[in-house]
Each structure stands twice: as C-alpha cells, then as structure tokens.
Structure 1
Amino acid sequence: MLMSSADRPATLRYGPNGFRVLSPGNHVLCAVTGEQIPLEVLRYWSVERQEPYATPEVATRRLLGEA
C-alpha cells in the first residue's frame, strides 16, 4: 500500500519566524513527548536545536534543561 504525505511526518527547517517544509507530511513529532503535532497547529520550536514542541510548557521545560 502506498503512503500519502498525509500519513507520515514532515521534515522541516525551523527559522525564527516560521518553518520550511523539506519533505512533505502532515505532522511532526514533539522532540520531548513524541506526540504528533499537525503542521497547521505547530507553534513552538527551537531554531538552535531544530526541534518542535507540542506545548509552550514542554518547550520551556526543554529549553531550561528539565526535559
């Protein structure tokens, strides 16, 4: 069975004001929790670490070194 891009995670390049899709997909996985984050609701990421986060709380924990 062929997978469409909707069935797999996207590969993104994170910038300070947005992200660029490097390979198509409809979600990314939170770097801390592993939770699927649909691209249309992705709001939190680290440019330096190039990783996405599911919530602002998770992002804060990660950036403070607690996760």
Structure 2
Amino acid sequence: MSSADRPATLRYGPNGFRVLSPGNHVLCAVSGEKIPLEVLRYWSGERQEPYASAEIATRRLLGAA
C-alpha cells in the first residue's frame, strides 16, 4: 500500500498540523468522512481530531456531536 492509499497520522497544533506518518488523507473524527490533506481546514489541537467541515467542528466543540 502506498502512502497515497492510506490515512496520514498528524499532530494538530493551533495554527497547523505536522505529518507524523505519511498518507494523503485523514478521517473526520465525527462523520468518518475521508478528508484529503490539501483540503483539511478544521481540527482541534486539544482533542487531536480532524473535522470535515466548519459545521461539524462547531458542533463537536460545543458538545453537540
């Protein structure tokens, strides 16, 4: 399996993320949706979770997801 076919492992910070193991996507912590790294915009550094959209991120951070 090439890195293009598997999820990356990331470390999320307040202003960006660092790739710990290569891949081309991550899975949304709430929906399970595949998020290509080049379009990943929403995450929680505190929870170390990626989110597929602003709506999902907001719901999760407010405790509704």
* Match 2:36 to one of 38, 43, 48: 38
Deviation digits for residues 6-62 of structure 1, max 9, x if unmatched?
A: 000000000111000000000000000000000000000001000000000000000
Give the alignment's TM-score, normalised by structure 1.
0.96
Question: Structure 2: any 5+ residue segments left out of the alignment?
Answer: none
Amino acid paired to 2:37? L
Equivalence for 2:46: 48
RMSD value, Cα: 0.3
Give the alignment's TM-score, normalised by structure 2.
0.99
Alignment of 1:10-49 (within 5 A): 10-49=8-47
Aligned residues: 65
Runs of 4+ in 1 over 2 A off after TM superposition: none
Structure with greater Cα Rg: 1
